[in-house]
Amino acid sequence: MVAGETLAWLRLNYRCRLDTTATYLAIDASKIWVVAEVDRTPIFRFEYLYEAESVPHSHIHVHGERGVLSHLLSKTGHAVPHDMSALHLPTGGSRFRPDLEDVIQFLLEECKFDAVAGWRERVHAARAEWRATQVRAATRAMAAEAAAELRRIGYTVTPPEDGHPEAGARARYAW
């Protein structure tokens, strides 16, 4: 490989909306695709769909072939056993899904793509911000559990006069 040669590129697509409280910006859908330059086809797709019902909200598609997997899927009656990219590999649901920084670090460290000086500090800072945002959102979605854990580690937490809000079904059960 020649340093600086373009082998793949990232395709990013984020669709946003206000959250249910109309206070915070929320991701409605996101797609992070690693696309091969040679034939312009995806290699990996990291996707998130807030409104997902029949697939995991957060999932990865791997565009590759594995003979034994095709064999197993054909035995189970899967609709497209020969296409591994049709599988939705779950990645932790709405709150605990991979972020763009995870994908960037994967490409630089695991796949050995070229990096610019200072990339690690920028990725760490952005990831810390993302995770802090997700913790706040998860806390709002499951306030009673957050309060209980804070009490367990020594914080004083006073619930609202009308009690904790009910934990959202999506936060508790969504795939």
For the stretch 117-151, pLDDT in tens is 999 999 999 999 999 999 998 998 899 999 999 99
Confidence band for 2, pLDDT divided at 50, 70 and 90? low
Tens of pLDDT, residue by residue over 29-69, are: 999 999 999 999 899 999 999 999 899 999 999 998 878 88
Mean pLDDT score, 73-82: 86
What does the DSSP assignment read for 26-94? EEEEEEEEEEETTT--EEEEEEEETT-SSS-SEEEEE----HHHHHHHHHHT-S-TT-GGG--EE-STT
> Six-digit token pair at 145?
């559990």
Q: What global pTM score does this model have?
A: 0.84
Confidence band for 155, pLDDT divided at 50, 70 and 90? very high
> Six-digit token pair at 6?
């373009």
Q: For residue 127, give Cα distances in angstroms to 103, 153, 168.
A: 11, 25, 25
Residue in 155, 114, 149 with CA at minimum distance from that of residue 135: 149
Per the model's pLDDT, the better-predicted residue between 78 and 47 turns out to be 47
Per the model's pLDDT, the better-predicted residue between 70 and 35 turns out to be 35
Q: For residue 27, give Cα distances in angstroms to 1, 18, 50, 90, 142.
A: 37, 8, 7, 18, 18
pLDDT score recorded for residue 1 = 56
How far apart CA 128 and CA 141 sit, in angstroms, is: 20
- To the nearest whole number, what is the mean pLDDT of the chain? 90
